Amino acid sequence: MTDRELPLVSHHIAGEWVASIGGREHTDDDPWTGRPLARVASGDADDARRAIEAAHAAFDGWAQALPVQRERVFRRAAVILERRRGELQELLAAETGCGAHFANVQLDFCQSLLEQAGSLAYAPTGQVLPSDVPGTRALAVRRPVGVVAAIAPWNAALVLAGRAVAGPLALGNTVVLKPSEESPMSGGTVWAEIFAEAGLPPGALNVVTHASGDAGMIAEELVTHPRVRRVSFTGSTVTGRRLAELAARHLKRPVLQLSGHNSLIVLADADLAYAVDAAAYGAFVHQGEVCMCARRILVERAVADEFTARFTAKVAGLRVGDPRDPATVIGPLINQWALSLVSRRVDEAVALGARVLTGGTPQPPCYPPTVLADVPAEAEIAFEETFGPVAILEVVEDRDDAVARANASRFGLTAGILTGDTYRALDLARRLEAGIVHVNDQPVNDEPQMPFGGVKDSGWGRFGLGFAAEDFTELQWVTLRDTPRAFPF
C-alpha cells in the first residue's frame, strides 16, 4: 500500500474534518512492524489558533446547555465506546504497542470515566455564605472557565486523552485537544468521533494533530492564546516545567501530571509470593511505559535474597513480542529513540558497576524485561524516569531506611508498600513524599473519580472527576441586597 492509499486522519475543528492549513501530512507508524497505519494532518500554530476560535465560539451554547443535555452526551458516548471496544483494542496495539491486558485496562477506565462524568452536570455549583452586612445575601458560584487546552501523551493514549477532556467538558467548558504525534488516533481523533456521534455540539471538542518536532509551536499557541483559560498537561517534567513557566507569564493556571520515579517497598513481613507477583506487574505492565510503574523495588534485607531469586526468575519468564498476541507481556517500545534511551541508560549503569540479573540486551523493537542490582547513585537510570521494562532492586536495612531512600527522589508521584501489618503501613504512607500511596498493592492504579497527581517534580494539581471543579471552574462571589443600602455620601 502506498502512502496515498492509506486512510487519512484529519484535524477535527468546529465539527468538521479538515486538512492542515499548510496542507502538510505525515505517517503514523506501527511500533511493532514499522509499517505506516495512516496519513495524518501535520498541524501548526495556525491550525491550533483555528481550533481555539472554534472552541470559543461554541462555549456559550455548551456552557448554557441543560444538565440533562450534557449528561445524555456522556451516557451515549459510553455506549459508543463499548460498541467499538474490539476495534479500539486493535488500534491501541497497532498505534502504541499496547497489549491486550493494558488495552482492557484503558477501555474499562474510559467506560467508567464516561459513565461518571455525566453526573458532574448535576454537581452543586455554589453555596450560600454568611455575611456581616445587614440585608446582604452572599453566594459563591462556580461557572465554567471557557476554553481548556488539553495536551495528552501516547503511553496510555485512550485514558490520558479521555481524562483530559471529560472533566472540563462535563463542567461546561470547551476543549482543544493536542494528542501526541505517536497516538493521533487512539489519543485524539477517536475521542472526536465518539463525542460527535454522541451529540456533542460542533466546536465543543476540537483535535489538532501534528508531526514529530512540531509539538512545541502548537503547545505555545495553546498556552499563550488569550481565549485559552486553563491548560491540562500530562507528560514529562521537563516539558511540564516549560509549559508552567509559559503559563505563568500569561497568568494561566496549569494542571500538570508529570514524571515519576516510583518506589515499591517490600518489608520483611510481606507475603513474598504475592510481593513477587505485584512487583512484576507494577514494574513491567505495558513494557514499563506507564508513569506509575515501579522503577525501584526497595526490599528489606531479611528477605532480600529470597525475593531477588524469585523475582528475577519470574521476570525472566515474561514473554516478549507482538502486542497482538494475548500471551505477550513485553511489547515494542514506542519508537527507536525510546529503545535507544533505555539501552543507553542500562549500559551506563552497568559500566558504572551495576549488575544485570536478567535481560539487558535489546531485542528491537523490544527491550527485554530487565532487573538491575547495585546501581550506583550517579547512573541516570537511578534518578531519571526511564520509560521501559527495567526495574532496580535495592536492599534496605529497615522501613525507616526504605522511606528515606524513597523520599530522596526529586519525584513524588506514587508508591506502594507490601507488608503484613497494614496499620503500621499507614504510618509509613503518611511519611512518604508521594501524591499517591497504595498499601499491599503495586503503584499502577487509577480510577476516574480519584485525586490522581503527584508532589515535588511529579506535578501540580489533581486529576480526577471528583476534583475537576477545583481547576476547571471559576469561583465567583455574588451578593444580593434585600433592602437598599445606606451610603455615607
pLDDT in tens, 151-174: 999 999 999 999 999 999 999 999
Count CB-CB contacts under 10 A for residue 108.
12
Which tens digit of pLDDT belongs to each residue from 290-347? 999 999 999 999 999 999 999 999 999 999 999 999 999 999 999 999 999 999 999 9
Given a cut of 90, is residue 125 above it in pLDDT? no
Angstrom distances, CA of residue 344 to CA of 293, 378, 388: 20, 14, 12
The alpha carbon of residue 43 and the mean position of all alpha carbons in its chain are separated, in whole angstroms, by 22
Question: How far apart (Å, rounded) are the C-alpha atoms in residues 293 and 414?
Answer: 9
Query: Which of 31, 32, 29 has the alpha carbon at shortest distance from 9?
Result: 29
**391, 359 Cβ separation under 8 angstroms:** no
- Position 74, amino acid: F
Band (pLDDT 50/70/90 cuts) for residue 5 is confident
Using CA atoms, how far apart are residues 188 and 196, in angstroms rounded to an integer?
13
Answer for the pair 298, 407: CB distance below 8 angstroms, yes or no. no
* Residue 13 identity (one-letter amino acid): I
CA dihedral 58, 60, 63, 64 (to 10 degrees): -130
Backbone angles phi, psi at 18, to 5 degrees: -130, 150
Cα–Cα dist 450/438, whole Å: 13
Q: Is 356 exposed, middle or buried (0-12, 13-18, 19+ CB in 10 A)?
A: middle
Cα–Cα distance for residue pair 193/15, rounded to 1 Å: 10
pLDDT of 2 = 64
Helix (H) or strand (E) holding 51: helix 45-63
Count other C-beta atoms under 10 Å from residue 351's C-beta: 10
Round to whole Å and give the CA distance between 231 and 326. Answer: 37
Contact call for residues 355 and 322 (beta carbons, < 8 A): no
Cα-Cα-Cα-Cα torsion 229, 231, 232, 233, nearest 10 degrees, comes to 170
235 SS3 class: coil
Q: How far apart are CA 327 and CA 301, in angstroms?
A: 34
pLDDT at 3 over 80: no
| pLDDT value of position 123 | 87
Enter the C-alpha cell of residue 409. Answer: 527522589
CA-wise closest residue to 200 among 82, 62, 67, 80? 62
Q: Give ∠ CA 53-240-155 in degrees, rounded to 5.
A: 90
Q: What's 71's DSSP letter?
A: H
Q: What is the mean pLDDT of residues 181-191?
A: 98
Mean pLDDT of the chain: 96
For residue 1, is pLDDT > 70?
no
What number is the average pLDDT over the span 381-393? Answer: 97
pLDDT digits (tens, 9 = 90+) for 265-291: 999 999 999 999 999 999 999 999 999
Give one word for 207, left, alpha or beta, with left for phi > 0 and alpha for psi -120 to 50: beta
329-341 residues labelled b (16+ CB within 10 A) or e (exposed): bbbbbbbeebbeb
**Which residues lie below 8 Å from residue 484, measured CB to CB, with a gap of 6+?**
none
Distance CA 84, CA 145 (A): 32
Q: Which of 418, 424, 440, 382 is nearest to 303 (CA)?
A: 418
Percent of the chain's residues with pLDDT above 90:
97
How does pLDDT run across 46-93, given as a tens digit for each residue? 999 999 999 999 999 999 999 999 999 999 999 999 999 999 999 999
User: Using alpha carbons only, how large is the chain's radius of gyration in Å?
Assistant: 24
Q: Is the separation of the CB atoms in 331 and 321 below 8 Å? A: yes
| Cell numbers that stand for 138 in this block | 452572599
CA distance 303 to 272: 8
Q: Which amino acid would we find at residue 377? A: A
- For range 20-34, the mean pLDDT: 95
Residues 190 and 28: their CA atoms lie apart, in Å, by 14
State the average pLDDT over residues 183-191: 98
Choose the weakest-confidence range: 122-126, 342-346, 420-424, 463-467.
122-126
